[in-house]
Amino acid sequence: MSNKTNQQWGGRFSEPTDAFVARFTASVEFDQRMYLQDIQGSIAHAKMLTAAGVLTDAERDDIIRGLGEIRVEIERGTFEWSIALEDVHMNIEAALTQKIGITGKKLHTGRSRNDQVATDIRLYVRTEIDRILAEISRLQQGMLSLAEREVDTIMPGFTHLQTAQPVTFGHHVMAWFEMLSRDYERFVDCRKRVNIMPLGAAALAGTTYPIDRNMTCELLSFSAPAGNSLDAVSDRDFAIEFCAASSILLMHMSRMSEELVLWASAQFDFINLPDRFCTGSSIMPQKKNPDVPELVRGKSGRVYGHLMSLLTLMKSQPLAYNKDNQEDKEPLFDTIDTVNGCLRAFADMVPALESRKDSMRNAAMRGFATATDLADYLVRKGVAFRDAHEIVGKSVAFGIAEGRDLSEMTLVELQQFSAEIDADVFEVLTLEGSVAARDHIGGTAPNQVRAAVVRGHELLATRGDVA
């Protein structure tokens, strides 16, 4: 076929497609990953055409057998893909016709590449969303294990990257868990709009054949057929929404990565990343680089770019299908690959994190982390909060000058700032007392973190996608 236009559609053309144009417009090099979805869609279409009287039972069986053989060849790596046939759909159809003869040419009755590719992409994205959901749950399972181990490990909580109040490492990890729970819900919701079937819309206006779209919908486990043929073949909202959900997920993972990179540094020394998730330096033998979180942090920009690419791709397209839409696949596929890779790396790494408990505790001691506890103590003694705020500010200034934390001052030193301070103040100035006092749902008290972990396990148990 090297000297001919694609014979699947070339009847109207008087000269062959330019060789460069053939390569330039072909998508088979990247859309062949949808071979399974294309075969599944074709089998469902063949069954529906048989029920509609367009194909005989024997023709249907020949098509299903031929497609099964093609699937085996693809999975064995013996199938020959041709750029001249442009895409995965044409390659499979041409191979089917070669195997079973003229019956293979009947398969395309009542459909177009426009609704075929739209159906394949949705089937593919639906499968990948299910994989991503399972991997998010696996990562969250690892977070629950880590949080449970670190429920009593005290560390500084930060605002503006300055020591604010003491929290527990387990509480911090459960904050990550909450981020991912929202991500999970976004992908579940996105899946609902992915799971609409374009097949039957044909090129843009539907078909004159007596098709049964509800039958095809049921065979392919879609929730409903698309309600408008023009929209069905041209809609890529689901791909944009998928990339948007992926961007938010990667934003969350980038935030986690930033913390891991900081905490693994000698300056923080809060955690140890196992060697298998790090690399060394070609020149500095002492280096242990946190490459996994750094790379995940970097890949967030890659996914953001794909979201902008798809938004830009669609912004000026008139109805219905346009060749522009061939450009939806590479950013979409790379987003899927990137998200899966990042989730796998984190799901393997997070449960293996090791805390440096002494470093975390010492850091919490250095930043007057219990200053708010002293203010709350004074309020409970009847001091107005704004006055208490000023008293504690002066106490902190004294501590800075003396190089001592509030808990290291004597009672006499503290009483020079307020006569309301008694010996019981030291119960609230300890790090343990501070975290234990936040004893409400969502608080950092160890028993509240344990309760949050229990709720997390219950949540994952309802999903059914965690082994």
Active site residues: 160, 281
Per-residue tokens: 370: 């219990």
Q: How far apart are CA 461 and CA 105, in angstroms?
A: 48
* DSSP 3-state percent helix, strand, coil across the chain (nearest 5): 65, 5, 30
Name beta bridge partners: 271.
Answer: 355
Q: How far apart are CA 179 and CA 256, in angstroms?
A: 10
CA distances from 57 to 44, 48, 220 (A): 13, 11, 20
CA-based nearest residue to 32, from 106, 82, 68: 82
Q: How does DSSP classify residue 289?
A: B
CA-based nearest residue to 428, from 354, 379, 371: 371
Which residues 6+ apart lie within 8 Å of 164 measured at CB? 156, 157, 158, 367, 369
Q: How far apart are CA 116 and CA 120, in angstroms?
A: 6
Q: How does DSSP classify residue 319?
A: S
Q: How many alpha carbons fall within 13 Å on the CB side of residue 318? A: 0
Q: How far apart are CA 425 and CA 275, in angstroms?
A: 44
Per-residue tokens: 99: 């195997």
Which residues 6+ apart lie within 8 Å of 36 measured at CB? 71
Strands 224-225 and 196-197, sheet pairing? parallel
Alpha helices by DSSP H, listed for 150-223, are 169-194, 213-219
Q: How does DSSP classify residue 14?
A: S
Q: How far apart are CA 61 and CA 427, in angstroms?
A: 80
Note if the bond before 202 is cis, omega within 30 degrees: no
Contact in structure between 231 and 258 (CB atoms under 8 Å): no
CB neighbours of residue 234 within 10 Å: 23
CB neighbours of residue 202 within 10 Å: 22
Burial class (CB in 10 A: 0-12, 13-18, 19+), 35: buried
